A = this chain, B = another copy of it.
Amino acid sequence: MTLDTLPTLDARQLERTALVRAFTAPKGFGDQTLRDRRADAIELLGGIPDPAVLPAHELADATARVLAQPGLPALQYSRTEGIPALREWIAAREGVPASRILVTNGGFHGLALAIQTTVERGDLVAVDNPIFPLFLRGLELSDARILPVRVGPHGLDVDELGAVLRGGARPAALYTVPDFHNPTQGSLSLEGRRELVRLAEHYGFVVFADNPYRELRFAGGVPEEEPFNHSERVIHVNTFTKTLGPGLRLGWLVLPESLVPDVVAVRSRQDSHSSTFVQAVVAELLTHDAGLFDATLDRARALYGSRARTLAEAIDREAPGEFEVEVPTGGLFLWPRLRDARVDADRLAADASTEGVEYQRGSFFPSGPGTDADRRLRLAFGDTTEDRLAEAATRLARALRRQRE
């Protein structure tokens, strides 16, 4: 019997790996099938920076300089950890040695590397509740079980976490967004950070501190102390996504020294290293004019702070008394709460879509029971002009009136 006459063995269909089988289809947040929107819809969906405050010309100029360098180092292979010029700039800003910086393809990539390095399959991982939902998709890389921990007005409720740990819970890791929490907008205090680090060091878990919005504070300077950069139990995750543009796909981890070799080992078996080209262009951008990054941030903070106030005021004006709206002190989101329990929040989101305004409904964000997230709306204002934000509030109010009629 020759090969050609043998029947194909149907039993040997391609099987998906256990890794892939653990993945679930996106529900709610990230589910593209929910999107059937008006052509003129105002999208308040994602934390997207406004092109107006991204340094496009300066990036083009930096690229021209980088591509004029003899030997074209920007087009060649480079080390898994990242190129020295970029690691050193980041390290100086973080106040740590450059040896602790690993350059990533953005914040989410940093989280994925942290998960694959430290979370064993089936491990328990404590997480924000409510949570940035995409982290739970990343966690499927380790098929982990989750332990939701309440997020209060000042970020993660470290007291509740302490109680849960004293009660015997033993997570391998904890995930939180410490500054301008996504979606709840609070920030963890210095004392809260210190206590979280103490708990991590005592109970032996790793903190994934995911900090993409840190630089987008509308007032005040950099906190003088960052406990997350000074513990063997914290992986501090950051990115240029919200400041220089998501499309660069460039971020970094501040790693405990002891974890650097393992993260490098994972990374070197996946995509080797982040684009030397992107790293070289951004390093040139940041070092050619030492004031450029802060000037860029100043413009961004002024723009986003103004948009946050505009949207909050417009909601109060267009739908008086309907929402409890707190103007955030940084970041890219409003998280207003419906005052009237009789309003159907899911119907509101559907009616808002019909009226031409799209947002993420609060019910997409809980990681467990006990939150008021389903009474809230996450409104992203980063890439929408103030005129359009005011129009969005008008449309939202119109959607709300549909339930009043």
Contacts and interface: CB of A to CB of B under 8 A. Distances in A.
Interface string A76-114: 111000000000000000000000000011101100100
Contacts of A48: 76-77
A198 B247 contact: no
Contact of A258 (B12, B14, B244): B14
A215 interface: no
B9 A247 contact: no
A6 interface: yes
Given A203-B9, A249-B273, A265 B108 contact: no
Given A3-B199, A77-B46, A202-B6, A249 B270 contact: no
Nearest to A24: B265
Chain B CB count within 10 A is highest, among A20, A106, A201, for A20
Interface residues of A, number: 89
B17 A247 contact: no
A271 B249 contact: yes
Contacts of A117: 16-17, 19-20
Contacts of A246: 75-77, 276
Interface of A: 3-4, 6, 8-9, 11-20, 23, 46, 48, 51, 54, 56-57, 59-60, 63-64, 67-68, 71-78, 104-106, 108-109, 112, 116-121, 137-138, 140-142, 162, 170, 198-199, 201-206, 232-233, 244-250, 258-259, 262, 265-266, 268-278, 280
